[in-house]
Chains A and B, each alone.
Chain A
Amino acid sequence: KQEVTQIPAALSVPEGENLVLNCSFTDSAIYNLQWFRQDPGKGLTSLLLIQSSQREQTSGRLNASLDKSSGRSTLYIAASQPGDSATYLCAVPMYSGGGADGLTFGKGTHLIIQP
């Protein structure tokens, strides 16, 4: 069964720093990988989806990379801002396919950007 681990569990950095969040998964036969953001007491917002055939995906100051063979993904946040403070979750399809049968989530990285 697929398991997803995120490191670190929490991170606090000064505003303006570049930072990297890590995600690892046990079964490398994934179809895609997604990164989500969750604000306190709220639902999840999709940030980036990387297909298994892609190595990275970019959206604004966010860049996500995927290395299927090593079972790892990273989310790079450039020039961090206080508004980036949130919990970031990594997810992969629970079974074969794109995620129609549900996603397996990591426990998330709780990020605080200090003004």
Chain B
Amino acid sequence: DGGITQSPKYLFRKEGQNVTLSCEQNLNHDAMYWYRQDPGQGLRLIYYSQIVNDFQKGDIAEGYSVSREKKESFPLTVTSAQKNPTAFYLCASSIKGGYGYTFGSGTRLTVV
């Protein structure tokens, strides 16, 4: 079955440490996105990519980095510059034009 796989489901980060969240899709979707969700808040866009080797900053890109070397993969790195990284991170993909949005099951990141 086609879908989006996020891993790990839970991630713990120590202060000053970089961590990478994985997102893989087998839907042959062109566009991929990373959103952050905090309790009681809507989703906020971190980064998005419409084609391989190209990506754009969203509303809250500071302290995060991404790469898009393959159509299927869009990993997110949470760097030590992100001062408040504890949140639920959701990866999504869509076909051209932003239709057919499909979300992964999320990664919950906690700073310890």
**Which residues in chain A, 62-112, are within 8 Å of chain B measured between CB atoms?**
89, 91, 93-94, 97-108
User: Once A and B bind, how many residue pairs between them come within 8 Å at the CB atom?
Assistant: 69
Query: Known interface pairs A101-B48, A103-B101. Does A4 touch B42 (Cβ–Cβ under 8 Å)?
Result: yes
Cβ-defined contact, B97 with A98, below 8 A: yes
Cβ-defined contact, B31 with A41, below 8 A: no
B111 proximal to A (CB < 8 A): no
Cβ-defined contact, B31 with A100, below 8 A: yes
Chain A residues, Cβ within 8 Å of B82: none
Cβ-defined contact, B101 with A101, below 8 A: no
Interface size on B, residues (CB 8 A): 31
Instruction: Report the interface size class on chain A.
Output: 20 to 34
Cβ-defined contact, B103 with A100, below 8 A: no
Cβ-defined contact, A41 with B42, below 8 A: no
Cβ-defined contact, B94 with A100, below 8 A: yes
Tell me, in angstroms, the Cα distance from A107 to B4 when the chains sit together.
23
B65 proximal to A (CB < 8 A): no
How far does the Cβ of A84 sit from chain B's closest Cβ, in whole Å? 19
How far does the Cβ of A97 sit from chain B's closest Cβ, in whole Å? 6
Query: Known interface pairs A45-B103, A100-B50. Does A89 touch B98 (Cβ–Cβ under 8 Å)?
Result: no
Complex partner residue of B101 from A4, A46, A94, A97, CB under 8 angstroms: A46
Chain B residues, Cβ within 8 Å of A108: 42
Cβ-defined contact, A102 with B48, below 8 A: yes
Chain A residues, Cβ within 8 Å of B42: 4, 89, 104-108
How far does the Cβ of A43 sit from chain B's closest Cβ, in whole Å? 4
Given contacts A43-B105, A89-B42, A100-B31, 14 further A-B contacts (CB under 8 A): A34-B101, A43-B90, A44-B90, A46-B101, A91-B43, A94-B45, A97-B98, A100-B98, A101-B48, A102-B33, A102-B45, A103-B98, A107-B41, A107-B42
